[in-house]
Amino acid sequence: MAKTIYVLNGPNLNLLGTREPETYGHHTLDDVEKLCRDTAASFGMTADCRQSNREGELIDFIHEAGAKKAAGIILNAGGYTHTSIALHDALVGVKVPTVEVHVSNVYARESFRHHSFIAKAAFASLCGFGIEGYRLAITGLAARIGAAAKS
């Protein structure tokens, strides 16, 4: 079984902890990455955490996950969620199990955030759980691929 989960964060997620804390909370991207590494390790896997403000670089990461036969992808595409057919197409193209994550509840926000191109290429979507959504996403991915928690 593949042992690596790609955790990909899109534009502006490098600003977690300082950007609109009333919406996104006070946790930083470093906090997210530690949470993901710890959660993946609890299933005997590793989390390869990356962030980019550039759509093309995120697509390259998705292609790499496919080429390296990653166990899965956790993707918070940020604002690209609502605009990027290219990210959707990359996910469909690589056929790696994907969970979409958002820190905030996008459905309680502006109407333009209610549409996701990513959701159509993912087997699950989570929003509104804060950074705990990443833990839930990895746990759900592990269940989907049959990875058992290590004691």
Q: Which residues are catalytic?
A: 24, 102
Q: 96: which 2 tokens?
A: 């790696």
Alpha helices, H only, the chain: 21-24, 29-41, 55-67, 85-94, 132-145
Contacts of 107 (CB under 8 A, 6+ apart): 113, 114, 127, 128
Strands 98-102 and 124-127, by their bridges, are: parallel
- Tokens 């997210």 locate to 32
Instruction: Work out the angle at residue 143's Cα, subtended by the Cα atoms of residues 134 and 148, and round it to the nearest 5 degrees.
Output: 105
